[in-house]
Structure 1
Amino acid sequence: MLDKTISPPPAEETTTRFGARHVLVLLALFLTVALNPIVGLVSGNAQAEIAIHFHTTELAWFTLTGALVGTFMLPFVVKAAGMYGKKRVIVIVTALGLVGDLIAALATSYDILLLGRGIAGIYGAAAAVAYAAARDVFPRPLVGPASALLAGSVGIVGVGGPFLSGWLIDTWGFRGALWFMVVATAVSLVILLAFLPESPVREARVRMDWLGGILLGGGLTAIAYGVGEGSEWGWTSGEFFAFLIGGLVALLAFGITQTRVSNPLFPMKLLARRQVWSVLLATGVAAGALYSVGVVMMLLALMPKIPGLSEGLGWTATHNAVVTAPISAVIIAAAIASGVLARRVDPRFLLGIGGVLTTIGYGIGANFHASAGQIISWGVISGIGMGMVVSSVPILIISAVSPQEQALGNGAQAMVQGVAQVIISQLVFVVMARDGMVMKGTQFYSDSGFSNGFWLVAGCCAAGTLLVLLIPKAKKLDEVEVGQAA
């Protein structure tokens, strides 16, 4: 049973502008959502230096360890947010993320660095809870613009973030990037405590389904890990099939247990609704592919250019920021415009058009990526598409579930997207390394490897676009019920 929500004053229903209080709340939620792309951007720019410094060919795990931990913890975090309060849970996972960032910044070995990134990955689940909190604490007319701005954080971060990370890395190396993660997480924690109100929307406090969470998170993690190690073990090896089959069996067991426990983590009745599972599948694949392209982009830009060994462009992080700034600006504009259009337009169309544009953009990028001019030209096309996709994701979830189901819906979407991102990113590393070389323990990449990476991402974007056809007609934002607990 759900507790009653707190209704706002009548005037709040017609509020169409962000007042001072709304802006402060939006700032707290924005930092919660933006911290993930901030960390992804800074760590992505640092990964070339990290690979060379630690002499590792296992660079993929620097960014993916946190993603795996976040995926595993997500069902527990979402359930706890529903029972104990969204603000309380966001604050706790942010504090844990700060601990992980500190360990990573102080790491003296690659293993300790991965340990820190893994603990920090717990924070990844906060974004799903933040979107649900936005639905609870904003009046109806502001839910769409607020959600679009939160989703567009990837573009907003992308404007100033590359310059910041470029300055950090070019001045202090990868250690500067790691310490910035500590500072950014600490600032987000303070602002959350100061400005974010607690959502009054609650689920009844029940016993946590630990077995279900372990089966779900463990199954997804096993599959992602098996894919990540498949190229080293061999795609026909016993180890690969053991993780793949073991993960699938765990997911099957999860589905069975959720129909038999009294308080499931993810009610099967919710996930069985076509309006829900089709949105989760389409948005998960589409957004997961988009966040995977950073692997190709950053290694292409920042790896050195060494004839016969490495075909990176050899840019500094600051130069890369200058080149990608116009693309980030386009992402922001497209995200905001999509948030406004979603009040009147079926968000399926926005997701589908965005998917088509990203497919075209990255397909062109597979053949033309040798200069800044080429990257900007097709980056504008893919940037428009990316802005449309990322802003459509939370809006489609809002249209598919009730306010009481919002945290569960966001959590399920984040899990699908996280798994898609991990698997696609791992496959990107595999196809990029195929024609590359290893020198002194460091993996270098050829031009054909970068092309293969772009083609893989473009293909996954195309798959996500086709999955949009499975989504039934979605409600416009002006037609959905919101929490209205501001």
Structure 2
Amino acid sequence: MSEISVGLHQEDPHTAAPEERSTAYYMFVLVAVLLLSETMTFTAILFWNALPSMSALFTPAQLPWIVSVSLLVAAALQPLMGKLADIFGFRRLVLAVALTYVVGSLIGALTSSFPLIMVARVLQAPAIAIPGVIYSFFRGFFPKRMVPIAIGMSSTGIGVAGIAAPLISGALLAAFGYHAIFWFCLIYMGVFAPIVFFVVPGGPRNRHRVDVLGSVLLTAGAGLLLFGVSEGPELGWTSPTTLVLLVAAVLLLVAFAVVEYRVREPMMDMRLLSGPALRATLGVSLLVGATSGGWGYVIPQLLEAERTAGIDYGFGLSATQVGLVTLSSGIVGMLFGPLGGYLARRFSPRLVMLWCGSLAVMATVAMAFWHSRLWEYVVFGVLYGAFNGFYFAAGPNLVIEAVPARLTGVSTGMQAFTSAFAGSAMPIVATVILSANVLHTDSATHQVVYASRGYTYVFLTLAVAGMVGFVLTAFMRHGRRPATGGAAAH
């Protein structure tokens, strides 16, 4: 059976108009939920910054998977998480996600085995998928006037992760090594998940069907695709192993699309996906999400590398110093997330996405040609922070304005899926580009030194993705009116 029927039929919580309460109460719940959602940003930044210090323990082919595996699994889980939230409610889902995250963090903290670290990162993945569910919760819980700005705030949190994570990762890595990152993740989730569980009201269960077969096909297909891409440079693109991986991935993804058209309640509604409004939004999310994921992967490498003959990058910074250099992007992103939500409500989410695309192109083109001085990372990091804040504010607002309330969970899950998938794929694509531009291997540390042109090619690839996203947004007919928090989509 490809579907499992769960629960009893009750009123859809998304369609029931909640009784409005005081603004102070809504703000308290918002802050509590945002502190939990910071887990996603913490997890990404902490492990991105930890990769250089882990390079002596793991191979270059293994390193990107330490980041990508959790992002990939989270991407595949996004639509399914939306369904589970509809079935069990946001509050119950938070409890289940917190338990898996704590178990995964504990495993990672106690092992140095690469396979077990992969298990730990997979168990952490559901927490990374929480933001897609949060957007649906916001639409059903908050007054419509608060939804666009709440979404903008959720995109960058309240600054705890964006500002503090680089500094925390630096201090922990310098003092205790990468195992301390897992311990920190465990403690953070252990503190804030119970707070959310007790302050967020419970919702009714509803009768929905979980598309098990679709979930398996999508996860397996996407995983084999990324694995094939990562192994291609080492095994050869025409090697039997690489070809089998890529062909199997394509077949599984095609089978997934066929299944989704046939089941009564698909994990990803292909008919909804084919609609012009959602299709355009997801296309932009895929392209701009790749730009965001690639930036976060390569910037720590450029800053922590030792400058040697033949390259124009590298400062030998510690992880703490990297955090200080990139602090500007975290602060700006924290400010531009709520600003993007306000501008979406005041003007339109499409306009915010256009600004986002232009900022992405400016930041990546600048970094492609100017990355030899520290001040360049600070200044261009400001552009990246503004782009990131606008991106995560505009995308969910575009989705919410495009679909009825009953489809919010799966639709925001689709948007989060495409963004997370692009973010998980881009580190592997960047590794492929860099592996084709190796300058030499350091005889003392055995670390690979990449030619400067390799990073230039990576940033230009990110710029192309941002430019195509900008063009798609310019032709988008959807999202040209002020955001209403979903009221116009009923």
| TM-score in terms of structure 1 length | 0.91
* Identical residues among aligned pairs (%): 24
Give runs of aligned pairs for residues 182-261 of structure 1, distance below 5 A. Answer: 182-200=186-204, 203-206=206-209, 208-261=210-263
Q: Which residue of 2 aligns with 1:30?
A: 34
**1:343 and 1:476 in contact (8 A); partners too:** yes
Q: Does 1:105 align with 2:113?
A: no
Give, as a single letter, the amino acid of the residue that structure 2 aligns with 1:204.
R
Q: Distance in 1 between matches of 2:188 and 2:238?
A: 43
- Residues 416-451 of structure 1 deviation map (CA, whole Å, 9 limit, x = unaligned): 112212222211112123223445654333333322
Give, as a single letter, the amino acid of the residue that structure 1 aligns with 2:468.
A
Q: Which residue of 1 aligns with 2:55?
A: 51
- Residues 100-126 of structure 1 deviation map (CA, whole Å, 9 limit, x = unaligned): 111111112223222211221232222
Match of 1:152 among 149, 156, 169: 156
Give runs of aligned pairs for residues 42-441 of structure 1, distance below 5 A. Answer: 42-54=46-58, 57-153=61-157, 157-200=161-204, 203-206=206-209, 208-307=210-309, 311-436=313-438, 437-439=440-442
Q: Which residue of 2 aligns with 1:8?
A: 18
Give, as a single letter, the amino acid of the residue that structure 1 aligns with 2:273.
L
Q: Distance in 1 between matches of 2:201 and 2:245?
A: 42
**1:56 and 1:441 in contact (8 A); partners too:** no
**2:291 and 2:360 in contact (8 A); partners too:** no
Q: Distance in 2 between matches of 1:210 and 1:299?
A: 39
Compared with structure 1, are the counterparts of its residues 203 and 267 closer, same or farther at alpha carbon in structure 2 (3 Å cutoff)? Answer: farther
Q: Secondary structure at the match of 1:162?
A: helix
Q: Distance in 1 between matches of 2:453 and 2:460?
A: 10
Give the Å deviation of 1:311: 5.0
Q: Does 1:466 align with 2:476?
A: no
Q: Distance in 1 between matches of 2:449 and 2:195?
A: 41
Q: Which residue of 1 aligns with 2:486?
A: 480
Q: Distance in 2 between matches of 1:323 and 1:42?
A: 15
Give, as a single letter, the amino acid of the residue that structure 2 aligns with 1:135.
R
Q: Distance in 1 between matches of 2:206 and 2:39?
A: 27
Compared with structure 1, are the counterparts of its residues 107 and 304 closer, same or farther at alpha carbon in structure 2 (3 Å cutoff)? Answer: farther
Give the Å deviation of 1:313: 1.8
Q: Distance in 2 between matches of 1:239 and 1:313?
A: 38
Q: Secondary structure at the match of 1:213?
A: helix
Give the count of matched residue pairs.
476
Q: Which segment drifts farther, 141-150 or 250-259?
A: 250-259
**2:105 and 2:182 in contact (8 A); partners too:** yes
Q: Distance in 1 between matches of 2:309 and 2:198?
A: 53
Compared with structure 1, are the counterparts of its residues 289 and 246 closer, same or farther at alpha carbon in structure 2 (3 Å cutoff)? Answer: same
- Residues 302-335 of structure 1 deviation map (CA, whole Å, 9 limit, x = unaligned): 2333446995321122222222222222222222
Give, as a single letter, the amino acid of the residue that structure 2 aligns with 1:229.
E
**1:96 and 1:119 in contact (8 A); partners too:** yes
**2:437 and 2:453 in contact (8 A); partners too:** yes
Compared with structure 1, are the counterparts of its residues 381 and 265 closer, same or farther at alpha carbon in structure 2 (3 Å cutoff)? Answer: closer
Q: Distance in 1 between matches of 2:190 and 2:378?
A: 34
- Residues 363-384 of structure 1 deviation map (CA, whole Å, 9 limit, x = unaligned): 1111111122111222222322
Structure 1: runs of 5 or more not aligned: none
Q: Which segment drifts farther, 107-116 or 352-361?
A: 107-116
Structure 2: runs of 5 or more not aligned: 1-8
- Residues 185-242 of structure 1 deviation map (CA, whole Å, 9 limit, x = unaligned): 2223222222222345x65233x22112212222222222211222112223333332
**1:55 and 1:442 in contact (8 A); partners too:** no
Q: Secondary structure at the match of 1:239?
A: helix
Give the Å deviation of 1:355: 0.8
Give, as a single letter, the amino acid of the residue that structure 1 aligns with 2:175.
T
Give the Å deviation of 1:397: 1.4
- Residues 376-410 of structure 1 deviation map (CA, whole Å, 9 limit, x = unaligned): 22222232222211211111111111221111011
Q: Secondary structure at the match of 2:448?
A: strand
Q: Secondary structure at the match of 1:473?
A: coil
Give, as a single letter, the amino acid of the residue that structure 2 aligns with 1:59.
L
What RMSD, in angstroms, separates the aligned Cα atoms of the two structures? Answer: 2.5
Q: Distance in 2 between matches of 1:34 and 1:387?
A: 14
